Structure 1
């Protein structure tokens, strides 16, 4: 069982969506992840939203002209995504066993985005497998961008992965680190408790 399932019981989709809707109504910017992605690949690029949740990031990218596919394990989150954007492709799958071709999807993505603390919320011990599966979904030269908390102040669960561990999994999967930032606004990383990392296959 993933740390996310342990935390939520797989029933948090509506609550999660409501929280971000309230932030948007209050004037908060809820599209930082999508904006970050647009600086990495041009409109029209194929994007895999790995751990897409309720679809907030992917729906915005699709609105901006990207060819997107969303994958998540949580049925309650996917139900919200499908309700909000029924025309977009949403798939329920465990990232540790994700096989695009098995779902009828071409494994030639230009970008994989894993926002929303995906890696710290995976089932313990599956981080290397997930990194390898995401690498296999990318075309040569494709990018993986992942943003996640590294300490208790930035996570809803105890920290589950360090940056050296994550970089090690990425290196084993054939990735090279090309950039690291402290926020989705691309502020320089300063060793703090949250990091956005960009790796190239």
Structure 2
């Protein structure tokens, strides 16, 4: 049986457990927490297939479904999966780590195996298991359909407890090692210029590397 290494999030031992309840409270108060989802929505046609990787308590998955997309959310933390069901009943996040999310695993859950957009926001990539960044990027690349893209966002400084520092140069090298091209880098989900605090990335597979994906 294949096992995946514990993520930095998991190794935090509950230090970030305030995340789920905090966002649930914001949802209950009617606060705007859809910034990432609005950008994702603008990147795809109506009814797109979207994978929300590291979905947390499901806020992006829920927001994109409300906009009419076919969204699959994956989240390995059982606490957050439970939180997602309390906040968004019936959301149905799949309890999968990125490294476990193969076409076979998705098929077992009767979900698509190729996506128009893969979203990994909210610091997912600075909370991965140590040394698995290229592997995670490669895994997500294999789940892209024709002309599919990746939307990734994380703090460059002052990230959450237990997270790593991931410089733009290193991330770019890792993306290229995973067979991806950096199309754009922005500083916010409202597409402000790149800065030294936060990075929003759009990645794609070079035309020569397109495989067409599954169905």
Tell me whether the two structures share a fold, i.e. TM-score over 0.5: yes
Task: Give the aligned length.
Answer: 197
Match of 1:35 among 38, 45, 65: 38
Query: More deviation in 45-54 or 89-98?
Result: 89-98
For the 8 Å contact 1:55–1:70, the answer to whether it is kept is yes
C-alpha distance in structure 1 between counterparts of 2:126 and 2:184, whole Å: 20
Matching of residues 166-177 of structure 1 within 5 Å: 166-177=171-182
Give 5+ residue unaligned stretches, structure 2. Answer: 1-5, 206-215
C-alpha distance in structure 2 between counterparts of 1:156 and 1:11, whole Å: 7
Question: RMSD of the TM alignment (CA)?
Answer: 2.1
Say yes or no: does 1:199 pair with 2:167. Answer: no
Offset from partner CA, 1:23-47 (integer Å, 9 cap, x none): 4566642110000101111220000
Offset from partner CA, 1:13-67 (integer Å, 9 cap, x none): xx42321244456664211000010111122000000000110011010001010
Shift of 1:124: 0.3
Say yes or no: does 1:147 pair with 2:153. Answer: yes
Match of 1:66 in 2: 69
C-alpha distance in structure 1 between counterparts of 2:186 and 2:175, whole Å: 17
Superposed structure 1 runs of 4+ greater than 6 Å apart: none
Q: Which has the higher helix share?
A: 1
C-alpha distance in structure 1 between counterparts of 2:91 and 2:23, whole Å: 20
Match of 2:188 in 1: 183
Task: Give TM-score scaled by structure 1 length.
Answer: 0.89
Query: More deviation in 124-133 or 179-188?
Result: 179-188
Offset from partner CA, 1:160-190 (integer Å, 9 cap, x none): 4222222122112221111111111111113
Give 5+ residue unaligned stretches, structure 1. Answer: none
Match of 1:136 among 142, 145, 154: 142
Say yes or no: does 1:77 pair with 2:80. Answer: yes
